[in-house]
């Protein structure tokens, strides 16, 4: 990620200055960096500081992000996630709801699964091979977060009202299918993949194709992007995300 603030808009610089804690400010910046590179790729813009500063990400009162250029809204639905110095942004075509999430694959306390997973999900975790159990937990939780963003509710909704199930079938461009059953609503479709020690999920409504790479994703890349012709465009940053 570029140092300094030349790539941020004036309002974004003010927002960053108001974030007191360094970790929160760093995660916020890397999420914006990923989002602006995704938007630049989507709009065919040069990913240079002056051009990126014309792009702005604002949050509505509920926390959902929206994109602007020169202060004018862009018809590009997007979702942003960040975790431990890495950021993820997913873009969708107009009229399509989208949510994404980025998680670290790491052991979780059994109480976490008991508190936030439904009965079938807990059974799925228990039945998973021991070596794959930590991935199963990360996948279920990440997909819940992505789906709740696509639904527009975020974590205000009880996560146990959503049931996540990895869908059968071969991976497409490194992405595997998943399904999210929502109590009292339709089943959402999405995609997930592992990148080293991290796990990425993207959920769209209605369903779409697997994300497709726009920019290469390498260890020394400042940002990398995917797109799907009818589903999502995804940008990940910084270079600590690697693999295909």
Work out the pLDDT band at 232, boundaries 50, 70, 90.
very low
Average model confidence (pLDDT) across the chain? 86
Q: What pLDDT does 231 receive?
A: 36
DSSP string, 63-120: S-EEEEETTEE-S--EEEEEETTEEEEEE--TT-EEEEEEEE-----HHHHHHHS-HH
How far apart CA 103 and CA 223 sit, in angstroms, is 17
Q: Which residue, chain included where needed, has tokens 């080293």? A: 196
> What is the signed CA dihedral for 63, 69, 75, 81, rounded to 10 degrees?
-40
pLDDT for residue 243 is more than 50: no
pLDDT digits (tens, 9 = 90+) for 151-200: 999 888 999 999 999 988 888 888 999 999 999 888 999 999 998 899 99
């Amino acid at each position: 990620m570029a140092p300094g603030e030349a790539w941020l808009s004036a309002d974004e610089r003010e927002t960053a200055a108001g974030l007191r804690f360094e970790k929160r400010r760093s995660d916020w910046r890397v999420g914006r960096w990923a989002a602006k590179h995704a938007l630049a790729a989507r709009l065919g813009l040069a990913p240079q500081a002056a051009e990126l500063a014309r792009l702005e990400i604002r949050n509505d009162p509920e926390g959902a992000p929206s994109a602007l250029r020169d202060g004018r809204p862009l018809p590009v639905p997007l979702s942003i996630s960040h975790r431990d110095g890495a950021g993820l942004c997913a873009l969708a075509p107009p009229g399509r709801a989208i949510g994404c999430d980025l998680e670290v694959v790491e052991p979780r306390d059994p109480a976490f699964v008991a508190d936030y997973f439904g009965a079938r999900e807990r059974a799925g975790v228990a039945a998973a091979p021991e070596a794959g159990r930590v991935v199963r937990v990360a996948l279920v939780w990440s997909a819940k977060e992505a789906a709740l963003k696509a639904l527009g509710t975020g974590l205000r909704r009880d996560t146990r009202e959503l049931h996540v199930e990895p869908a059968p079938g071969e991976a497409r461009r490194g992405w595997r299918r998943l399904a999210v059953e929502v109590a009292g609503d339709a089943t959402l479709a999405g995609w997930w993949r592992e990148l080293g020690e991290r796990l990425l999920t993207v959920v769209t409504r209605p369903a779409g194709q697997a994300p497709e790479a726009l920019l290469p994703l390498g260890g020394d890349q400042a940002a990398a992007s995917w797109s799907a012709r009818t589903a999502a465009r995804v940008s990940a940053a910084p270079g600590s995300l690697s693999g295909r």
